[in-house]
A and B are shown apart, each in its own frame.
Chain A
C-alpha cells in the first residue's frame, strides 16, 4: 500500500506483532454478542481507520465502500429471512422480527469490523517489511518469504498483460459468445496466456535467485533489521485502552439494547 498512505505511528509497529494482535482482536470479536458493545466498538474502529492509517479521505472512502455494502447486505438478509417471534413487519415470505433485525445488525457490525481491521493492517504495513519481520520474529522460512516478495513485483506486470490481451481480443474481434460455453472459452483465452507468461517468468526468477546463491535454508543476515520496541508496547496499550473505553462506555451510552443478541 506504498504511496497512498502517509506514515502514521501504526506503521512503526512491528508487522508481526501487529499481525498477531490484530488476529487476536478478530478472534475475540467472535465472542462479543452484546449489540451495544458491538456498536461502540464499530464506531471506535471506524475512527481508527479514518484517522490512524494516514490514507487520504478519498481512498479511505473508496476502500470503505465495499465493506459498507457488505454490512448492508448482512443486515438485510438476516433481518428479512431470520427467525423470531416479535414481528414488526410482514409481507409474503419477508418477515422482519425484532430478534432477526438485531441479529442482522450484529452480524453486519461483525462483518464491518473484520473488514476494517484487515484494511487498517494492510494500509499501515509495508509488504516487504512484513515478510522481513515474519522471518526475524516468527521464524518464517526465507524460502517462502522471498517467493512472496518476488511475486509482488509480478502483479503489475500481470495487470499490464491482462490489458494487452483485452485489447488484442478487441482488435481480432474475439467474441466467445454467450452462456456457459462462451464463458469457458473466454476464461481459457485469458487464463492460458496469463498463466503461461507467469509460470515462465516465475521459473526464470527462481533460477536467477539461485544464481545469486539463495538457498532457501541458509543462514542469512537481514537488510531490514526489525525488532520489538516501544511502538509495539504502545499498540498493545492502545488495544487495551479501546477495550476499556468500549467496556465502560457501553454502561453509559446505550444506543441499542444492551443485551446478548442470542437471548433476545
Chain B
C-alpha cells in the first residue's frame, strides 16, 4: 500500500510514522493516504487500529493540539477543517446552545451584530429548531448534542468535515438523527468518517478504507467493492455491518426459558422511586420470575436507570417490593448484583485480580488464600481476562473494562443481576462476547434485568421488555407477543407474558 507517490493533488499524508509514548511498536509505519475534495470516505477497522489517530493527523490536530510524536515526508492538511468527536459530553466548552456556536464565531472574529442570525442559520441547517436558542446544553438528548456539535463544526465553514465515531454513544434514534443531518449537508462537502455502526450510514459515503489490526491499510476502494470482498474481515473486526444479527443468530439457537416458578421472584406493586423527595418512577404492577431475561427500554431520561437503582434500594422507594414473597430485607440485597454503565466508577481495587478477589472474599465464608486465588483465576479465565490479571483496571480496553465490571460483580449467590446499558458504545465483537456470558448466567438460572437501547438485543436475548415512558412503566411485552398497555390501577392479576406462557 505504500507506493511512492507523493501527494500532488488533494490532501493526505505520505510516509507517516507515528508512535504513542510508552508503546513498543509503531502505530503507523510509512503509511500513505490521499484524498480529494468532494470525496466521502469511511474508515473501518477493529478497535485500537489507529483509524481515529490517522483522522487526527489528517485534520492537523496531531501534532499541534494533541501531542503525539510523528514524522512524515509530507502532510497536506486542508486550510480549514472541523471535527465532530465521539463523546457528546466532552466537546462543548459553553453552557448554552447559542453560546457554543458563538464561541466558534468569536474565534473567526465574526462581528457581534451578525452572530444571532448566523447562530439561527447553523442551527436550522442541522434541524435543531429550539424555541429559545439560549437552551442549556445539559438538557439536550445525546442525538441533539451531536447535532449541535455538527452545527458548530459547520460554523467553521470547513473544506473537510471529520467525524470521529459521532454515533458511538447514541441510541438508534440519535444515530438516525445524526446521519439525517449529515445527508442534508451541501452535496460537495468533503467528509472523512470513522465509524463502527455502519448500518444506518452506508449511503452517506462512497469510498471505504479498511484497516488491519496493526494499522496497515487492507483495502481502499469503492464502497460496494470493499463491502462485497471483505465480509469476513468486517465480521472479524467487530464492525456493526448490515445483516450482522442474521449472521449471528445462525450460530446461537433460541433456548426456551426454563419452567417458571409459580410465584414471582420479585414483585413490584405500586412501587415508587424517589429522588430528592420527588417521585421519579412509578410502577403500578410488575413481576419478575426466576431465570427470566428482561430488557428495560425507553427514551433517555425516562427513568430506566432510576428503576434499577430503586430495585436495588440505592434510592428511596415507596410502595411494595416483594422478594420471594416477602418484603425485601437488607440481607436479600446481597443476592441482587448491579453493574453500572461506566465500569471505571465501580472499580475499588488497583489490579484486575484484586478487583475480582474483592468480590470473592465477600461471597465466600472465611475463604483461604488458595481458595480465593483459584476462584479468581477461574473467573478471569472464563471472561478471557486472565492474561491481564496484574494490570490496573484503568489500563484495560473499553470492552475489557466492561467485561471486568461484570466479572467482578457477579457471584454465585446472586439471584438477580441488574445491568445498566452494559453494551453501550462497544463494538460488535465485545458486545456479542458480553451477551454470550450473560446468556450463560441466564441459563444457569440467574435472572437478568438489563437496560438497553438496542432493539436487536431485546428481540433476540430478552424474554420480555419493560417499556418505560416519562417515569412510568407503561407497557410490558414478551417476545413475539405485542405489548399491552398497563392500566394505572395496578390490580391486574398477571401481566401479558406470564399469561401467555402459562
- A-side interface residues toward B, CB under 8 Å? 128, 146, 149-150, 152-153, 156-157, 161, 164-165, 167-174, 189, 193, 196-197, 200-201, 204-215, 218-223, 225
Contact = CB atoms under 8 A, between A and B. Distances in A.
Contact of A156 (B107, B138, B345, B362): B138
Contact of B362 (A161, A173, A193, A208): A173
6 contacts: A128-B94, A153-B95, A153-B137, A204-B90, A211-B61, A215-B107
Given A172-B359, A214-B107, A189 B90 contact: no
Interface stretch (B98-106, B293-301, B433-441): B98-106
Contact of B61 (A210, A221, A222): A210
Contacts of A211: 59, 61, 65, 81-83, 85
A170 B312 CA distance: 10
Nearest to A126: B95
Contacts of A225: 112
Interface of B: 59, 61, 64-66, 81-83, 85, 87, 89-96, 98-99, 102-112, 115, 137-138, 152-153, 156, 309, 312, 314, 334, 337-338, 340, 342, 344-348, 358-359, 362, 394, 409
B95 A201 contact: no
B314 A208 contact: no
A210 B65 contact: yes
B435 to A, nearest CB: 22
Contact of A153 (B65, B92, B107, B312): B92
Given A164-B342, A208-B85, 4 more contacts: A128-B96, A173-B362, A208-B90, A211-B65
Nearest to A170: B314
A149 to B, nearest CB: 6
B107 A213 contact: yes
Given A212-B104, A212-B107, A220-B109, A171 B338 contact: yes
Contacts of B109: 218-221
A221 B104 CA distance: 10
Contacts of B138: 153, 156
> Top 3 closest A-B pairs, CB basis?
A223-B102, A168-B346, A150-B93
Given A172-B358, A208-B93, A223-B102, A213 B115 contact: no
A82 B102 CA distance: 57
Nearest to A212: B104
Contacts, number: 138
A221 B92 contact: no
A207 B83 CA distance: 10
A155 to B, nearest CB: 10
Given A220-B109, A223-B105, A208 B92 contact: yes
Contacts of A167: 309, 314, 338, 340
Contact of B152 (A170, A189, A212): A212
A128 B348 contact: no
Given A168-B345, A172-B358, A209 B93 contact: yes
Contacts of A205: 90-93
Nearest to A167: B314
Contacts of B112: 221-223, 225
B156 A221 contact: no
Given A173-B362, A208-B93, A218-B107, A197 B344 contact: yes
Contacts of A201: 87, 89-90
Contacts of A215: 107
A146 B93 contact: yes
A174 B110 contact: no
A21 B111 CA distance: 31
B345 A165 contact: yes
A195 to B, nearest CB: 11
A149 B94 contact: yes
A146 B103 contact: yes
A133 to B, nearest CB: 15
A258 to B, nearest CB: 48
B95 A157 contact: no
Nearest to A207: B65
B104 A213 contact: yes
A208 B91 contact: yes
Contacts of A204: 85, 87, 90-91
A109 to B, nearest CB: 35
B365 to A, nearest CB: 14
